[in-house]
Amino acid sequence: MCHNLVVSQGNWPSGWLRGVIELAVLAIAAEGETYGYVLGARLAEAGLGTIKGGTLYPILNRLEDSGALTAEWRQGDGGPGRKFYRMTDEGLARLSLERQQWLSFSGRVTSIINPEGHTK
């Protein structure tokens, strides 16, 4: 469980982020090979806030352990090495399934909390 979640923008309840951050990481990883810093930056750019490494890297490790991602350490150009992540076929299948589940779930929740379809 991610207890180190820190949000510096967006002010989203941490429970919401814990429920969706793994799916968001999978979706970003599906865009192409990436590494932790870039993933964190993309999450922040999307308005989810700054996700600390103590939250992000355990998620990446779980996704790697589950076979959704592969990882490879590479030397940096004059700096420290980086662990690059790449989506696997299993990860793509998981993303497809979880994306469908999320859209169904979020639509149902929206119909409960906003039954008239008005946004404020």
Is residue 16 situated within a structural domain?
no
Q: Which CATH number goes with the domain that contains 90?
A: 1.10.10.10
Tally of structural domains, the chain? 1
Question: Which pLDDT score is estimated for 2?
Answer: 47
SS3 of the chain: CCCCCCCCCCCCCHHHHHHHHHHHHHHHHCCCCEEHHHHHHHHHHCCCCCCCHHHHHHHHHHHHHCCCEEEEEECCCCCCCEEEEEECHHHHHHHHHHHHHHHHHHHHHHHHHCCCCCCC
Is residue 41 situated within a structural domain?
yes
Is residue 83 situated within a structural domain?
yes
DSSP conformation class of 80? -
In terms of residue numbers, what domain contains 48?
33-110
Question: Which pLDDT score is estimated for 1?
Answer: 44
pLDDT for 72-102, tens place per residue? 999 877 778 899 999 999 999 999 999 999 9
Name the average pLDDT for the chain.
89
Is residue 3 situated within a structural domain?
no
Is residue 12 situated within a structural domain?
no
Is residue 55 situated within a structural domain?
yes
